[in-house]
């Protein structure tokens, strides 16, 4: 007797005959295994690819960092060489007392503070030409005072560092030395001096002195806008009075100077800022022939009718090292007016 097939057998036979219609309960685990295997393969490839990319990026970063260091070193070397050759072309742009900024300050001072001082004098004293000249003269005297001060620092400092114990603690040795010279006698050393030292030590000493003086020069320039100019201003006032002999002229001068006290202070400050630059800035106010490279006429004049300078209204600003004109001076030519 033949057996009778059950429903389960019939379903399996149907699935085998129609694989596309398999039971989802059997198909899902298979599909999940296939998906996980595929995902694992994709992740493995992605991680390997990412690792290769990261390795390349790290290598490239190391190469670029090395190039940047080399570039910085070469740039610093070039900048250092340029600073030695021409210090004015290399400056700290964050420094408010840098040369290019001081040059601009000088120009603004010429157009602003100078004219304000002329106007202040004009309210009481109508002689316009005399007012312009006095304003210019104040600055000329202030610049001389500043130049003497900075020269004293630059000359005495290295000398003092070479032989610090040679500083006199009183005027008595100096007086005795002067008296001996007058009598034709050899002056006696009243103070200790270094004995002869080997050349190698002299070289190190000179290098140290240069480092110290350079540091002090940087300090003077950095602090030039906040320097106390009280003593310099008093010196300027005394020097101006000495230029005007006679009670009447000196009395008139004092009346005029009382009208522009802040201008005198600003002249002292600006003059100091000029002389502490590296290289120093210089003013010129004594040339007799008009030079369009160095001079310009007051705005009221259209064109020069002569090449002979009558007087300066404001000095020319120059680079002391090479004579480059930084700001033109304002001049009045012969047979003309301000």
SS3 per-residue string spanning the chain: CCCCCCHHHHHHHHHHHCHHHCCHHHHHHHHHHHHHHHHHHHHHHHHHHHHHHHHHHHHHHHHHHHHHHHHHHHHHHHHHHHHHHCHHHCCCCCCCCCHHHHHHHHHHHHHCHHHHHHHHHHCCCCCHHHHHHHHHHHHHHHHHHHHHHHHHHHHHHHHHHHCHHHCCCCCHHHHHHHHHHHCCCCCCCCCCCCCCCCHHHHHHHHHHHHHHHHHHHHHHHHCHHHCCCHHHHHHHHHHHHHCCCCHHHHHHHHHHHCCCHHHHHHHHHHHHHHHCCCCCEEEECCCCECCCCCEECCCCCCCCCCCEEEEEEECEEEECCCCCEEECEEEEECCCCC
Contact 328, 316 (CB under 8 A): yes
The pLDDT value given to residue 160: 83
Model pLDDT, residue 44: 83
CA distance 120 to 250: 19
Residue-level pLDDT at 148: 95
Q: Are strands 295-296 and 329-333 parallel, antiparallel or unpaired?
A: parallel
State the sign of the Cα–Cα–Cα–Cα dihedral 202, 206, 211, 215.
Answer: positive
Residue 275: per-residue pLDDT: 95
- Average pLDDT, consecutive stretches of 10 residues, N- to C-terminus, the chain (338 residues): 50 52 64 75 82 88 88 73 56 70 93 96 96 97 96 87 67 56 57 52 81 90 91 96 94 97 97 92 94 87 78 95 93 77
In the block, which residue shows the tokens 């290289």? Answer: 279
| 145/141 Cα distance (integer angstroms) | 6
pLDDT for residue 191: 41
pTM of the model: 0.65
How confident is the model at residue 205, as a pLDDT?
80
Name the one residue in this structure whose structure tokens are 């390795």. Answer: 55
Domains annotated for the chain, with CATH where assigned, are 96-278 (no CATH), 279-338 (2.30.22)
| pLDDT, position 89 | 56
The pLDDT assigned to 158 comes to 84
Q: Which of 144, 101, 136 is nearest to 115 (CA)?
A: 136
* β-strand pairing of 325-327 with 309-314: unpaired
Query: CA triplet 123, 125, 129: central angle to 5 degrees?
Result: 110
Distances (CA, A) of 31 to 27, 37, 44, 75: 6, 10, 20, 64
d(CA 157, CA 213): 7
pLDDT at residue 228, rounded to an integer: 94
Q: What residues contact residue 188 under an 8 Å CB cut-off, 6+ apart?
A: 176, 177, 180
């Amino acid at each position: 007797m033949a057996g009778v097939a059950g429903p389960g057998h019939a379903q399996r036979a149907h699935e085998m005959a129609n694989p596309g219609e398999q039971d989802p309960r059997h198909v899902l685990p298979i599909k999940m295994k296939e998906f996980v295997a595929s995902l694992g393969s994709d992740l493995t490839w992605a991680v390997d690819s990412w690792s290769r990319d990261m390795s390349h990026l790290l290598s490239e970063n190391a190469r670029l960092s090395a190039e940047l260091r080399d570039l910085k070193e070469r740039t610093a070397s070039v900048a250092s060489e340029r600073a030695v050759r021409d210090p004015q072309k290399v400056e700290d742009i964050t420094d408010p007392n840098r040369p290019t900024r001081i040059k601009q300050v000088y120009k603004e001072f010429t157009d602003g503070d100078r004219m304000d001082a002329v106007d202040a004098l004009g309210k009481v004293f109508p002689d316009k030409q005399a007012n312009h000249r006095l304003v210019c003269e104040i600055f000329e005297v202030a610049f001389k005072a500043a130049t003497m001060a900075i020269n004293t620092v630059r000359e005495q400092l290295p000398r003092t560092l070479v032989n610090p114990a040679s500083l006199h603690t009183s005027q008595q040795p100096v007086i005795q030395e002067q008296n001996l010279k007058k009598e034709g006698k050899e002056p006696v050393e009243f103070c200790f001096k270094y004995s002869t030292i080997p050349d190698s030590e002299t070289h190190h000493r000179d290098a140290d002195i240069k480092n110290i003086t350079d540091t002090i020069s940087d300090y003077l320039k950095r602090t030039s806008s906040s320097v106390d100019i009280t003593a310099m201003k008093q010196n300027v006032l005394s020097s101006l009075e000495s230029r005007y002999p006679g009670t009447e002229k000196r009395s008139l001068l004092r009346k005029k100077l009382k009208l522009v006290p802040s201008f005198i202070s600003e002249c002292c400050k600006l003059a100091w800022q000029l002389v502490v630059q590296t290289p120093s800035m210089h003013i010129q106010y004594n040339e007799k022939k008009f030079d369009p490279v160095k001079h310009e006429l007051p705005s009221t004049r259209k064109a020069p009718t002569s090449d002979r300078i009558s007087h300066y209204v404001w000095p020319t600003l120059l680079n002391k090292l090479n004579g480059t004109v930084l700001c033109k001076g304002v001049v009045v030519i012969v047979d003309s007016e301000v």
